[in-house]
Structure 1
Amino acid sequence: MPASGLAASQPVSPRRKLLAACAIAGLFGTPGVWLLQVIVSEVLSASACYGVSAPRASPSWSGFDMWMFVISLVALLLAAPCAGVAWYGLMLARRVAREPDAHTHAHHHEALRTPKQLRRDDLSRVRFIALCSALVGTGFFVGVVFVWLAPWLVGPCGKRY
């Protein structure tokens, strides 16, 4: 039975695993932190600032500002390393692209291409994913910062100071 490209796959190098972890941190870590921050903040705001039929002028419990600050602080402390790791992945991908003997893994369906073409295409994909990860991570980190600033810009329960 002939070996297919999937059955004869090569082991993944530690550098590839690190690049994948960096990409996951930027593409899923930072957006996930932002989403949790928004969900938790909105649930607490809704329960503290809205009654049965009308909005309240002030929060119904006294520790509301502290809870919002703590939630945003935790989100910042989690999102900053995720975005930083994504940028580290981009720098690592650029460094890998400069190496003359970067690892190339040819699949069966790519047999007609030269090793140089395979390496160039593979490195282009890695750099693209790393760039997307860094940009997404940075964008959602900025979103975390804006959600953190919102209570000070608007005030509790939407009332301006």
Structure 2
Amino acid sequence: MKHFFTLLLSAFALQVSAQNAPNWTSAVGLPITPAFAAQPAYATDAAGNTYLASSFSGSVTLAPGTTLTSAGFQDGVLAKYSPTGSLLWYKQLQGTYVDSFQKVIIDASGKIMLMGTASDGAQFGTVTFNTSSFGFGSMVLAQVDAQGVVQY
């Protein structure tokens, strides 16, 4: 008999000042299954905003009053938090199977780049990923600007 267990992975964000004193902390509960446990990725831009990239199944609360529900088995999420810890915006990678973000990088010009996996037809902003010829869980790259607009 096969048993499935859901774990709760808590993603903690902590921003510190130049003097190594905490400016703010935040915790986001990410419910995931053991087979698809993803460690959240973080990046901070020049203005002190923190970006969280990860995946979840079921639902996840990013901030009080902001709960997302996965469209398929697992969805990806990118969330931007202000230097004071307030949720500014989020983008969800939604598909029917396993869709996730594993890496987030911010370049010197402030462009946010993401690496992850997506199922065929997964949506991220106005972009639809066509991965049918590459197989299940194909690697995808995406770029978002500082306002959360998906570039590609």
For the criterion TM > 0.5, the same-fold answer is: no
TM range (shorter): under 0.3
Structure whose residues are more often helix by fraction: 1
| TM value normalised by structure 2 | 0.22
